[in-house]
Every structure is written in structure tokens, then in C-alpha cells.
Amino acid sequence: MYHWTSDPRWLLYEQDGDGDENWHIYRVDLENPDAEALDLTPFPGARAVGLETTPSRPGKALLHLNHRNPVEFDLYELDIATTELTMLAQNPGQVAGLLYTPDGKLFTHTLTDEGDIALSRWDPETGARPPVATFDGSDYPLDIQPFQLTPDGTGAWIGSNRGSDRTRLVRLDLATGAESEVDSHPTLDLDPRSTVFPTLPSPLILDRRTGELIGVRYLGERQVIHPLTPHFADVLKNLTKLSDGDLAHMSSDDSGQRWVVSFAHDRDPGVTFFYDHTTGRSRLLFRPYPHRDPDSLAPMTPLTVTARDGLELPVHLTLPVGVEPAGLPTVLLVHGGPWHRDSWGFDPSAQFFANRGYAVLQVNFRGSSGYGKKFLKAGIGELAGKMHDDLIDAVDWAVEQGYTDPDRVAIFGGSYGGYAALVGVTFTPDVFAAAVDFCGPSNLVSFLRTVPEFVRPHLINNWYLYAGDPADPEQEAQLWERSPLSRVDDIRTPLMVVQGGNDARVVQAESDQIVAALRARGVDVEYMVKADEGHGFVNPENNIDMYRAAELFLARHLGGQTL
């Protein structure tokens, strides 16, 4: 993740060590580009999180560090030019996050024993923490997002679904805790994707110079942007003419007249333009993948499938180019989280498999985010249950529509999607001709007992609520029943398992144990471990190895093409 600073000399980026998720902040000197990047948080084993720069404090950045105590993140201010780190507040314990206003006020963000999210004003001298606002934690499995201080520090823009099925944008008054609506959409949630992948754009579009709110992003089948100022409305009208994709990253000069914008697109990803609002002129700056011909790539089509209990499921279908869309081998590509979602745009995995002749089906099963509170909470207690039924119902739909050959369906997923792949070959082994599990948990009990220590208090509104708490014997038994490892003897589907050796979220033992159990039965299973990767692969050579192996594996069992 890269960050421009107020001084064009300095570029910051965040980097971990071989996927261990111990993020450090590095500085690049653009006046001396041959010099090595400088580690500004050089503390072994520590994590720097929540890096934030604001127009009100040029040359400074706020961040949280846990080098004093691995389970407590303290608040620091970084002087980008001098590299000096100044502690602004030491975590008083059991505090998930610290909020620091421009005039020096401190607020704590905590979880109650019941899982509610509490925001309190904190006086470090007296220790007093009078409450400001409390939120039902079950409504926010990944915490409240966005949570952005207003420039004057008297409020925060937050995504709220209080009293509503949809997540809208409100201003939270930090003195009274009162919410006042800023903007909403009648049928769509605020775009939630940056909660899971912070490299994606925030739903809040801010003025470069003042930090004031000028636009809000919502996401349905496609993105919808609401402009909040007349000037940005005029700019937006012209920006959207540059591409038929969805506006992704946007930046401007201080005047808001000159813009650089990129677009999300299913076949022309990341195409980037310069636009001058003073003259109305624009020009293409670059395509990040100039060797790709957009016409040779496969369109992604948003559709809706009805589950067996009547719930409407948003899905995306990608069909190979130049092939009759009938009786195709099919890859069911399952997203992670599970509190994430698939969306229209360029998906490298979907394009890869479509290029090899597969139909690719992606399902936003119940429990996926961004489709309202009711859809999200329909996933509670449904791992290996109705969440999996949704996947099967979508496959059945694709078969009924004639797209899919029912005897040639594979399931492929990473993280929760890897778990779903393992559930597929254990709970519904007759549906799939092959499966690829990429860093998925095989045993929910051991998975939840090996997550990093500082993460565990935050599981109450997601994994503990949706799946169970292994500290409770009854819930532990239920977790085991929903674990693929408990049904390993039912596996008869060809399986490929892929794992990062440094994975801090789903440790290697989760893959080792199911591979060992299968090999003990004499069952052949392909197993790839990359020692220099974490939760998902980043290094190009490892991704090439993995996809090449998956291509050959699926070709053997589904009859797809290889190159």
C-alpha cells in the first residue's frame, strides 16, 4: 500500500516480511531514487497499522504500533521528514483503537463483553472514559467502516445501519453521540470493499486541500457515486465520460481542477486518465497491462439467482470468449471473508479460467457484505449449511440454464473460499469433479485457536457469532461438525491444496492436517507450500507456479484447456 505525502519528495509504503503481516512503514526519497527505502518503524515482530495523513497536519502521519506490547496498539505521530516517532497515547488496555482529534482530544474504541462497540472520550490524566456512543456489534462483523474524522475534529463520518437494513453515511457528533444523516441510497449500501482490501478506494471521496467530503460511493451491480458539492458534480459528469468502467482511484491538485483517475473494468482494468476541468480536456495516461487486448478478455455479467429458500443471490458469470456457452466445464470461484463480496470488474482468476475454456461462476452467498444487514445476518450459524447451499443452488441454476456440464464442475477458493472448497468435497462430494483449496481452514476449532493473540478479542462479532467459540464445549462440538476435517473420510473428489508458510491467519497446520489425513488413507492429494508467502500469494513466481499447477490439475479432471 502506497501513500503520497504533503511533500512530493517523500513516498510512503507499507510492507510486511514474506507474508507475516507484520507491516512496517517505509519511506522512499524521490530526490534520490537509487537510495534504499528507509524503515520508519524498525521494530522486529511489530505491526504498524492505521497509517493516516491529514491536510491539517502536513508532514505528519498518525499510526498505531504494538512494539511495546503485542496485544496493545499505541498511538504515534510520525514526522515524515525527520523520521521522529512521538507517542501520543499509550493504550490503556483492552482498547481496539485510539482516535486523536486536531485539537488533541482522545477517544477510545472498545468492545464490550457483549460485543457492542463503544466510543468513549478519554482523559489519560484521570483515566476517565465517559461514553459517547454505543453500537450493536452484531451489525458490524468487521467493525464500523468507514470511520473518518471530520476536518474540524468535532465529528466523524461513519457507515451506520442503526435502525435500517442499509448502511448509509452519517455524521457522528463526538460531543453528544448524536447521528445525523449525510447521505444515503434507497437500495444500496456504502461500498464496503476497502474494509477487507484497503488498497481499494474508500467509499468517502474527500477534497484534496481541505479534507471535506465531496462524494460518496455505493455499490450494487455497478458503482453509484453521489456528488455532494456542485463543483465535484460537474467534475464527475466529465470523468464518467472517459471510460465505461467504474471510477476507482481519484486524485486532484489542491484546486480540484486537475485530476488523475483510474477505472475498474472487467476487461480494461486500471486504465488511467488525466483530466483538466478548467479546459475540459483529457488524455489517456496509461494502461497498466498494455499487452492485454480488452476484446480478447471475457465479459463479466452480474445476475441474480434465487436460493432454495427464496433468498435472492447476486452472482457474476464469466463465459469464455468464442465458445458456444453450453455444457461447459465450470469453475465455482468462492470469495473469502466470508464478510466480503465479489463485484463487477477485472478478476484475474476468472479471466484465467475463462481463457482456458471454463465458465466461471461467482456467488455472493448469504453472509456476504454490502447487501444489507438482513442478507449479512442470514449467514449466522450457516457455515457448511445454507451458506454452502447457496453455492450449490447457483451451480444447479447454471446447469439448468445450459451453461454448465454437471459432471465437470470444480470449486476453487481462498481463505473462507478455501474452506468452502473443502466443505464442497466433504459435505457435497457428488457435486464436484475437482477442488482447489487455497489457504482455507480445515478444522474450525484449531483455526480459531491459532489466530494471532491480538485478533481474538475482535472475533466476537464475526467468527464467534457466525460459527462458534471453541472455548464453549457445546459450540466447540458444533465447530467440529462443520469442519471438513471431521468428514475427511468422505473425500473422493480430486483435491489440490495450496498454502503460504508464513500465513498468520490460517496457519500451515490447517492444510498439513487434512493433507496428512488423506495421505494416511492412501488418497492422492496435490500439495503446494510456498515458504515466503502469507495469507494469499504476492510474489509473481509463486502465483505463476500455483496457477500453472491449478491449470494442469483442472485440465486432468474437467477437460479444460492448457497453454
Active site residues: 415, 503, 535
Per the CB < 8 A criterion, the answer to whether 535 and 21 are in contact is: yes
Q: In Å, what is the CA distance from 161 to each residue of 27, 166, 435, 447, 538?
A: 38, 6, 37, 30, 35
CA distance 15 to 166: 34
3-state SS record for 400-450: HCCCEEEEEEEEEEECHHHHHHHHHHHHCCCCCCEEEEECCCCCHHHHHHC
CA distance 46 to 65: 7
Nearest residue to 364 (alpha-carbon basis) of 431, 438, 312, 309 = 312
CA distance 345 to 371: 18
DSSP state of 178: -
Nearest residue to 4 (alpha-carbon basis) of 94, 113, 80, 96 = 80
For the chain, what is the radius of gyration of the CA atoms?
Answer: 24
CA distance 525 to 519: 7
Q: Residue 526 CA to chain centroid, in angstroms?
A: 28
Pairing of strands 328-334, 359-363: parallel
Q: Give the 3-state secondary structure of residue 77.
A: strand
The neighbour count for residue 322, using CB atoms within 10 Å, is 8
